[in-house]
Amino acid sequence: MSRSRMQLVAVLVAPLLVGAAAHAQGAASPVVARTAVGHPMHYLISLPAGWTPDRRWPALVVIPDADRHFDEATRTFAAARGNLPFIIVTPLVLSGGGTAQQHMGDFDYDGAAWTRASRDGNCTFDEDGLTAVIADVRTRYHAEDKFFITGWEAGGHVVLSQVLDHPERWRAAAVATPNFIGRCLAGGAPTHDATTAALPVRVLHGSLDHAAWSVGQPLYSQWLRLDSLAQARGFTNVKEVVAPGRDHGPLAQEVFALLGAAIAK
């Protein structure tokens, strides 16, 4: 797999027009807090304009950076979604930044949830919690079987471990300037068939983000590590994407441009 770069230009416009034309009029739902069935993981959800239970909907899991502003992240992606038909799901994961138990104020978990996280470990808490959240959103909100996933900076720890260990869960992944040190990866190298190994994974960065994304910088070095590991595990569709004129951040509009194009196919 080559470390090819893609320029993200015209693709920013077309999916938004497709979504606006194809989707029903009406305001998107407010952000709502839920708890997964069978697990204490909390998540925030925003439904698209025109949502009804009469069909299946694409769903995007959002993993924020180390600041863990879960509500703000949900609202940022809800605003960038426009009229595209994505359900936005932001799970309150523990392993996306520094040790969660040292930042308990970033979460609204009760003592029982923290006890479980201490017993199971934060990675297992997130793994089991994400499994429960995905099942909950499929059942309660009629999401499609395979979800999309995004995140930025420290959110990459969660996004990329999910991609590498469970490509069968995801329809595509788009992650911006991610951290990747192999956190929460399962032991060994799972074997994936040709379909799951072809999962589209796009690693985005702004063309102006020289401080974080240049040779010798930690995030860029972690991208090279990810690319090598993905290649070793047989992944065939991992690419670096440059967002022209953009600096550091979640790149929500660019994420939806890529994912909107995917659902328009």
The pLDDT score that the predictor gives to residue 8 is 61
Superfamily the domain 5-264 falls into = Alpha/Beta hydrolase fold, catalytic domain (3.40.50.1820)
Q: What is the mean pLDDT of residues 203-224?
A: 95
5 confidence band (pLDDT: 50, 70, 90): low
pLDDT-based confidence at residue 15 (cuts at 50, 70, 90): very low
Do 234 and 195 form a contact (C-beta atoms < 8 A)? no
Of 51-55, 187-191, 228-232, give the lowest mean pLDDT range.
187-191
- Domain positions in the chain are 5-264
pLDDT of residue 58: 98
pLDDT for position 21: 35
Higher pLDDT, 26 or 41: 41
- Per-residue confidence (pLDDT) for residue 150, from 0 to 100: 98
- Over residues 242-263, mean pLDDT: 95
Confidence (pLDDT) at 265: 74
CB 206 within 8 A of CB 246: yes
- The helix (run of H) or strand (run of E) holding residue 156 is helix 156-165
Residue range 201-224: mean pLDDT, rounded: 95
Cα 148 to Cα 171: distance, rounded to the nearest angstrom: 5
Encode pLDDT of 139-149 as tens digits: 999 999 999 99
CB-based contact 213:258 (threshold 8 Å)? no
pLDDT-based confidence at residue 67 (cuts at 50, 70, 90): very high
Percentage of residues in the chain having pLDDT higher than 90: 82
Other Cβ atoms within 10 Å of 121 Cβ, number? 14
Residue pLDDT, tens place only, 138-176: 999 999 999 999 999 999 999 999 999 999 999 999 999
Alpha carbon separation from 104 to 65, 99, 130, 183, 225 (Å, rounded): 15, 9, 19, 20, 30
173 contacts 200 by C-beta, under 8 angstroms: yes
What integer is the mean pLDDT of 105-132? 98
126 in Cβ contact with 187 (< 8 Å): no
Checking if the pLDDT of 17 tops 80, the result is no
